Structure 1
Amino acid sequence: MPDALIVGATGMVGRAVIDRFGAAPVTILARREVDGLASHHRQIVAPSEGWGDLVAAEKPSVLICCLGTTIRQAGSQAAFRAVDHDLVLSSARGARAGGTPHMIAVSSVGASAKSANFYLRTKGETEDDLVALGFDRLDLIRPGLLRGDRPGPQRLGEGLATIAAPLTDALLHGSFRRYRSISGDSVAAAIVRLAGQGGSGVHIHENDAIRVLAD
Structure 2
Amino acid sequence: MSDAIAAGRRICLVGASGLVGSAVIEESIGRSDVRIIGVARREVLLPKGARLDILVGPTTEWPALIEAAHADVLVCALGTTRKAAGSDEAFRSVDHDLVLETAEAARMAGIDRMILVSSVGADPQSGNLYSRTKGEVETALGQLGFARLDVLRPGLLRGKRAEDRPLEWAGQVVAPLADILVFHARLRRFRSIAAVRLAQVILALGERRTSGRFVHEHDSMSEILHQRHI
Tell me, in whole angstroms, the C-alpha distance in 2 between the residues paired with 1:105 and 1:163: 26
Q: How far did residue 168 of structure 1 move?
A: 1.7
Is the CA contact 2:29–2:50 (under 8 Å) kept in the aligned structure 1?
no
Superposed CA offset, 1:71-119 (max 9, x none): 1111111111111111111110011011111000100001010111110
Counterpart pick for 2:20 among 13, 37, 43: 13
- 1:163-174 counterparts in 2 under 5 A? 163-172=173-182, 173-174=184-185
Letter in 1 for 2:216: H
Between 181-190 and 49-58, report the one with greater CA deviation: 49-58
Q: Any idea what SS the aligned residue of 1:191 has?
A: helix
Tell me, in whole angstroms, the C-alpha distance in 2 between the residues paired with 1:43 and 1:35: 10
Is the CA contact 2:123–2:136 (under 8 Å) kept in the aligned structure 1?
yes
Between 50-59 and 166-175, report the one with greater CA deviation: 50-59
Counterpart pick for 2:29 among 10, 22, 46: 22
Superposed CA offset, 1:120-155 (max 9, x none): 0000000001100010000000000011111222x1
Tell me, in whole angstroms, the C-alpha distance in 1 between the residues paired with 2:50 and 2:181: 44
Letter in 1 for 2:223: V
Tell me the TM-score normalized by structure 1: 0.95
Q: How far did residue 188 of structure 1 move?
A: 0.4
Aligned-pair Cα RMSD in Å: 1.3
Letter in 1 for 2:181: L
Letter in 2 for 1:204: V
Tell me the TM-score normalized by structure 2: 0.89
- 1:3-82 counterparts in 2 under 5 A? 3-23=10-30, 24-36=34-46, 38=49, 40-82=51-93
Superposed CA offset, 1:21-75 (max 9, x none): 2234310100110112546311111001221232134331100000011111111
- 1:12-161 counterparts in 2 under 5 A? 12-23=19-30, 24-36=34-46, 38=49, 40-153=51-164, 155-161=165-171
Regions of 4+ moved over 6 Å = none
Tell me, in whole angstroms, the C-alpha distance in 2 between the residues paired with 1:199 and 1:32: 34
Tell me, in whole angstroms, the C-alpha distance in 2 between the residues paired with 1:33 and 1:180: 33
Tell me, in whole angstroms, the C-alpha distance in 1 between the residues paired with 2:17 and 2:51: 17
Q: Any idea what SS the aligned residue of 1:169 has?
A: helix
Counterpart pick for 1:195 among 201, 206, 222: 206
Is the CA contact 1:112–1:125 (under 8 Å) kept in the aligned structure 2?
yes
Between 21-30 and 5-14, report the one with greater CA deviation: 21-30
Is the CA contact 2:29–2:51 (under 8 Å) kept in the aligned structure 1?
no
**Structure 1 position 185 matched with structure 2 position 196:** yes
Percent identical among aligned pairs is 45
Tell me, in whole angstroms, the C-alpha distance in 2 between the residues paired with 1:57 and 1:71: 32
Q: Any idea what SS the aligned residue of 2:139 has?
A: helix
Tell me, in whole angstroms, the C-alpha distance in 2 between the residues paired with 1:40 and 1:72: 34
Aligned residues: 214
